[in-house]
Structure 1
Amino acid sequence: MAVPKKKTSKSKRDKRKATWKRKAALQAQRALSLGKSVLTGRSNSFYYPTDEDEEDDEE
């Protein structure tokens, strides 16, 4: 079975974990921002069907 030759230092481990958490926090912030802009109706980059579009399709 393969075994690592040297132990990874705590600083390398912590740095990797911090990077992973920072990426997750950034994605969560972007998702929240997009959700807020959709709710306020000011979103320019996100397309979704509105109630008016659904009523037009039914006729």
Structure 2
Amino acid sequence: MSDKIIIGVTDCSKFDIYSNWVLSYDNRVEVIQLGYKLDNFNDIEKCDGIVLTGGEDV
């Protein structure tokens, strides 16, 4: 079992703000940007949690 916590954050214009917010809570966190334009739907399987930002993907 990995100590890394992977959080997916949906793509939006404020992605960096959301990413920094998530990263500020724990140094074991890794953030993955998720979005249809990034064509990375399968990366969802790697995530321990997802932040739905309310951007165009939602």
- Scaled to the shorter chain, the TM-score interval is under 0.3
**Length-normalised TM-score, structure 2:** 0.23
Q: Which has the higher contact order (CA 8 A, sep 6+)?
A: 2
- Higher-helix-fraction structure: 1
**Length-normalised TM-score, structure 1:** 0.22
